[in-house]
Structure 1
Amino acid sequence: MFKIDSHGNQLADIAIGEGATYHPSGIDYDGKYIWIAAAEYRPDSRAIIYRFEPATQRLKEIFRWQDHIGGVLRDPETNTLHGISWGSRRFYQWQLDNEGNPQLPATGTHRDTAKLNNSFYIDYQDNQYIGGREAVYTGLNAYKNPDGTRIAIGGIEVVDLRLGLPVHQVPVGLWSPSTGACITQNPSYFEVRAGQLRAYFMPDDNVSTIYIYEAGV
């Protein structure tokens, strides 16, 4: 994870994962902790779930999971952690105790506890809890034209965490001016400021730009 200022200067660099478990997930901030997973860069693999406290710069391993976790967030209203698998094909949830420790399955494989995602038009890349047991997921999917060329389409979904079902879906026809990548390919963040919905996106790898969009609400 990187901490940067408003001018793009790097202020901190926090390493996560170990060995082949290096691929960072979508993250969320619950007001005290940033929740993040590191996973092997392949489906049906393994992951380590962490929480990071920005105030103290402390990173703590919470538990390990027998699947690729590509996004993680905490619902503070129920103290429940929610995760998605590679391509967001599976939903997971873990009830936390007052110390932040999860209730993990005693027997069977971890994937047996998953709830299947019935929405297929995008694969989720990032997530954010928005209240009312709902979360925003952003992502993309690539589609093949008859001539063999491919086009990637981005999207935003509001998901009911109780049901594991989207309650609102919006395609996003925005692409990076630098690389042509979908604007929702990597991290996203949303907030309401002065009556405006502000969205932040950083779609490119390596040399990156944060793009900010605003819309009236």
Structure 2
Amino acid sequence: MAMLHLASSLSVAAAPGSSDAQLEHARLVGALALQGEIFHVQGLALDPDHVWITSVDHAGRRAFLHVFDRASGRYLRRIELTDGARYHPGGLSLSGGSLWVPVAEMRPDSSAVLLEIDAATLTVHRRIAVSDHIGCIAAEGQRLVAGNWDSRMLYEFDLARSDRPVRVVKNPSATHFQDMKFADGQLVAGGNTSWLAGTLDWIDPATMRVTRSLKAGSIGAVRPFGRGGPITGEGMAIEGRELYVLPEDGPSRVFHFRLDA
């Protein structure tokens, strides 16, 4: 139901125009323009009615969670997530009624806090301290997988047992993951390999081995001179064969791709 809801709204939205959007084994369906201020995009999550986005205001050293209407792209609200020296929000995930968002210091080998936020009230329910920069997180029930700076290492949590990681493994891909989600029993992660390219990888959560990888090009003028970059370089959400990416800083568009079977 959620997949069809956003697919229909994006399909009737304005085409992405001159974008050179490319994703291996996928077709660009459409794009939804978001009508509100966003800073440097960090993550994307979807529910049937909302588009959730994290962004960092580098100049102001502030972290934000933004909420938009899923059907129209209309701005609804935002909350600030800045936590002292920690002002870098990362890729986020929605599991049940909770949004999981990491907020970290803006440097590697530093510190972060993992926030569990009630999606209905935007109240913070839980805070988990991590002695490393955490830039993205995937959540499924009591299980979390989080990537540090450039996702060089992946931290796995079992919250039914402890707030401490139960396993830390090296990223099986050369890609710098920026956003990751659990989908159909797999960990799906997107990120950049250069200023102009990236990949979308499927990882077996049990073995932490890559089972599938798709190459991605870029959208628009690439940062730092433009506002775009690799398709998979920032926000990413997936529902079955429907992939949604947010590679541009504000003003931003959610691009909708349909993956091959």
Superposed, 1:31-180 pairs within 5 Å as: 31-76=96-141, 79-97=142-160, 102-104=162-164, 114-120=168-174, 122-132=175-185, 134-142=186-194, 151-176=195-220, 179-180=227-228
Unpaired segments ≥5 residues, structure 1: 143-150
Helix, strand or coil for the counterpart of 1:126? strand
Conservation of the 8 A alpha-carbon contact between 1:83 and 1:91: yes
Q: TM-score, normalised on structure 1? A: 0.80
Secondary structure at 2:150 match in 1: helix
Q: RCO (CA 8 Å, sep 6+): is it higher in 1 or 2?
A: 2
Contact 2:196 2:217 in 1 (8 A): no
User: Are the equivalent residues in 2 in contact too, given 1:176–1:183 (CA < 8 A)?
Assistant: no
- How many Å separate the matches in 1 of 2:229 and 2:213? 20
In the alignment of these two chains, the number of paired residues is 192
Q: Which amino acid aligns with 2:193?
A: N
What letter corresponds to residue 117 of structure 1 in structure 2?
A: N
Question: What is the alpha-carbon distance in structure 2 between the residues aligned to residue 208 and residue 38 of structure 1?
Answer: 21
For residues 7-62 of structure 1, what are the alpha-carbon distances to aligned partners after superposition, in whole Å with 9 as ceiling and x for unaligned? 33211102113122011111111122111100011111110101111123212342
TM-superposed deviation, 1:174: 4.2
Contact 2:227–2:249 (CA under 8 A) maintained in structure 1: no
- What stretches of structure 2 of length at least 5 have no aligned partner? 1-64
SS of equivalent to 2:229: coil
Specify whether residues 162 and 22 from structure 1 end up closer, same or farther in structure 2 by C-alpha distance, changes over 3 A only.
same
**Aligned residues of 1:48 and 1:61 also touching (Cα < 8 A):** no
Match of 2:84, SS state, is coil
What letter is aligned with 1:65? V
Q: 1: distance between equivalents of 2:102 and 2:162?
A: 14
For residues 186 and 128 of structure 1, what CA distance do their matches in structure 2 show?
13
What is aligned with 2:234?
Answer: 186
SS in 2 for 1:162: coil
Q: TM-score, normalised by structure 2?
A: 0.67
- Change over 3 Å in CA distance of 1:118–1:198 after alignment to 2: closer
In 2 relative to 1, CA 103–179 (structure 1 residues): closer, same or farther, beyond 3 Å? closer
